[in-house]
Structure 1
Amino acid sequence: MTNIEQEVASYYDKLLKRNAGEPEFHQAVAEVLDSLKIVLEKDNYYADYGLIERLCEPERQIIFRVPWTDDNNQVRVNRGFRVQFNSALGPYKGGLRFHPSVNLGIIKFLGFEQIFKNSLTGLPIGGGKGGSDFDPKGKSEGEVMRFCQSFMTELWRHIGEYRDVPAGDIGVGGREIGFLFGQYRRLANQHESGVLTGKGLTWGGSLVRTEATGYGCVYFTDEMMKARGESLDGAKVIVSGSGNVAIYAIEKAQELGATVVGFSDSSGWVETPNGVDVELLKDVKENRRERVSAYVDETQGASFHDAGSIWDLSADVALPCATQNELGGEHAKKLVANGVKYVAEGANMPSTPEAVEVFRENKVSFGPGKAANAGGVATSALEMQQNASRDSWTFDYTDGRLHTIMSNIFKMSDETAKEYDREGDYIVGSNIAGFKKVADAMLAQGVI
C-alpha cells in the first residue's frame, strides 16, 4: 500500500467514526475516494491544506422540526433537512426529497454527489440537498399544502438565489414546488423567482425542466454507445421506475429508435415487448397517480409481475431510474447474462458497489449518476439563468443546451479517464473531472 493509499484509508476510517450510521454517505464517499487516489498519486498538491477532509465535510447542516395539521385537525410532526455541502463554484444547488426513508445520512450522500454532478455541468453552482421524512402519498391537497408551508417557514431564511437554490426530487413535483414558492414569497415579501427551480411555466419555470433528467440520461447513454460504434436505434432498453425520470427516459429512448421492454414501480414491474405507450403511462402516473398495474389493464401486449425482478429481462441497455441501491450484484450478473452492454444511472447511486464491479469485470459501459443524471440540475441552472435575465427560452433551444451539456459531460469523463490510464471507466473519469474543478476553486479561495 502506497503512502497516498494509507492516507486515504486512514481518513476514510475517521469519516466512518465521525459519521456513524450513515451507510449511503459512506458508500458515496468511498467511491469518490477510490478514484481520487489516482489523482493524489499524480498531482499530490491536492493532498495539501486538508482539501479532501474539507470536501467531505458539509459547510452547513440544518435540521428542523416541521409541525403541521392533518385533515382531522391532528398535529403531526416531521423532520426537515438541508445540507449545504460546498459552495466553491456557486450557490448551493440540489433538490428536496419528501419520502419516509429520508434521514441525515441520505441527504448527505445526495448532497455529496451533487457537488461533483454540478461541477460536471460546467455551470456556476455548488452542491446541496434537502428534504423531509414526510410522505406525500395518500395525503390530501390541503395536507400537502400545510406541510409545505410549515417546511418553508423554517427553510426560507437559509435559501436565496445567491445563497441556495432548491429544486424538486422524489416526492416533490410541480405541486409541492408551487406551495413552497408561495410560502417563500409570502415570508420574503418579494417575488424572488430564482430561489426555487422546477416552477410552473407561467411564473418563472423553464421548458424541458420536467423532461431534463430522463432526456439527459438517454443523451449520455447515446454518447456511450457512439463511442463503441453503436446507437439506440433498434436497441432494447429496460427502465426501472415510472416516475418523472423514468417516464421521460422512456420517451426519449423511443424517440431515438429504441424499444423499451419494461418499467416498474414499488408494486411490481411491467413487461412491454412491443414498447411503451408513453401517453398512457403519463396519464396513469402523472394525472391519476395510480400503480403500474393500471397501465396493463388499459393496453394490449403488456404484462404485470409482482414477483421476480425487472432486471431479469433481456435487453441491450439498462437505465435504473428509481432509487438508490436498487440494482445489486446478482441483478448485474443477470443483466450481463441477458446481453446488456450499457448501463446509465437515471437515479442517484441506484447500483450497489457489487453491481458496479460486475459491470467493470464484464466491460459493460457504465454511466454513473453524477454524470448520467446531471441533466436535471443542468436545466435547473438554465432556469436560474432565465430568471436572472427575466427571459423565457423555447423548448428546442433549451433542449439543445441540455443535449450539448450532456455531450460535454461524456466527453469530459471520457477524456479524463484516458488521461489517468483508465479508458472507458466513466466512474473514474467523472469523479476526477468533477473533483478537479471544485478542488482548484477551493485551493484558490483559501482555507475556509
Structure 2
Amino acid sequence: MDSETHDASADGQAARRAPLDGIRVLDLSRILAGPWCTQNLADLGADVIKIERPASGDDTRAWGPPFLKDGQGRDTEESAYYLSANRNKRSVEADMATPAGAALIRELATASDILVENFKVGGLAKYGLDYASLKALNPRLIYCSITGFGQDGPYAARPGYDFMIQGLGGLMSITGERDDLPGGGPQKAGVAVTDIVTGMYATVAILAALQERQRSGLGQHLDIALLDSHVALLANQNSNYFHSGVAPRRAGNAHQNVVPYQVFAARDGHLIVATGNESQYRAYCAAIGAPELGDDPRFATNRLRIRNRDELVGLLSAIMLQGRRDDWIDKLEAAGVPCGPINDIAQAFAHPQAVARQLRRDLPHPAGGVAAVTASPLRFSDTPVAYRRAPPLLGQHTEEVLREVLGKSVDEIAAFKQALASR
C-alpha cells in the first residue's frame, strides 16, 4: 500500500499528498480509544474501513441524546458521541461471527496495512482474525490491539473501562478537592482521558511501526493498554512519587510543584493564575498591588512558597476577592503573567482564538443535516488535514468497499448482502 508517487497540480508543480495517502486501515474497534486512534489516521489521509456489526454497529451510535439533527431538524440515529470519533471513515457491515463475515474481514486484512482492534485478549482467534492468523496471510500487516490491561499479566483477561482505570491507575487520587475541604473526595476527569490518551499512544505506535516497516518490510503486533497509557499520563506526579516515596494527594485546582499556580476567586467569578517562574511571581505580586509579597523572605523562592503555601495563598486570596475577574485578567496580561478565565465549552468555542483557528468544522451529513466536529489539532504547512467525510452511516460504504477494494462482482456483492440480511 506504500506509494512514492505524487500528483501534479495545475501549475505543474508536484502536489504533496496527505501524509498517509495510500495507507489502508481496517478498523475493528468501537467506543472511543480505538476509534480515536483510527480517526487520527483517517485525518492524516489513510483510507479507514470501519467494520460494524449489522443492525446496531458501533455501540456509541446509541449513546444519546443528543443526536444529529437531519435537514428538517429531527433526531437521526447518529449520536453526538459517535460523531466525535468517526469522521473521514468508511463503514462496512459484516458479522464476524458468521463464516462469510469472517472471510470478508480476512480478505480486507490482506489488502490493508494496519488493523486496529479492541476485543478481549484472544477474543478474535476463534474467527481466524487474531494476529498470528492474519500475519500468515499478510506479513506486512501492522496489527494494533487495544485492551484494558495488555496482552499479558494477571489482569490481561479482564475488561477495562476508562472510568475504572482512572480509579485503579491513580488519577482519581490526585483529582478533586482535598478531603478536608468542602466537596473534597476523589473525582474523575470530565472527559474520558484514559481512552483519549490510549488512542493517541496507539497512533504514535502505529506511525512508528509504519516507519520501521519501510526498513524491514514486515509488520508487527502492537500491544497498547489503557492502564499503561493512563499511568504514563500521570507524568510528573509519578516522578514526584518515585523521588519522594510519598504518593501525591488531591490538591484541588492547585499545582503540586508550583505556587501560586491555581484558581482564585474574584468578586464576580474565578480566574486561573499560573506563575511558572520567579519573575512571573514578582510581576504578579506587583500587578495585584502587593509588591512586598514578591520580596517577602517567606516566599522568595518556589521552594519556600510550597513550604508556606497555606499562608501565602490566604494572603493572595484575600486580595483577589477585592477585584473583578476581567479587571484582574487585564492587569495580569499586561504584566506578562499567565492567566485566564474558566470558560464553559460554549464560551471556549466562541473565544476569538478558537474561531480564528476554526476549531469547529461543519460537515454535510448523508442524513441531510450537518455534523459538527472538532478540528484536528494536527496542523501541517503543506499537507493539511482534509475533512473529507462526515462520520458514516452504518454500512454506508459496504458495496463501495467490496467493489473497489476487493474487486467483488455485482453478483458477489448481492450474495453477501443477501446473507447479511438473512442472518
Question: Scaled by the length of structure 2, what TM-score is found?
Answer: 0.30
Question: Scaled by the length of structure 1, what TM-score is found?
Answer: 0.29
Higher helix share: 1
Q: Which has the higher contact order (CA 8 A, sep 6+)?
A: 2
**Higher Cα Rg: structure 1 or 2?**
2
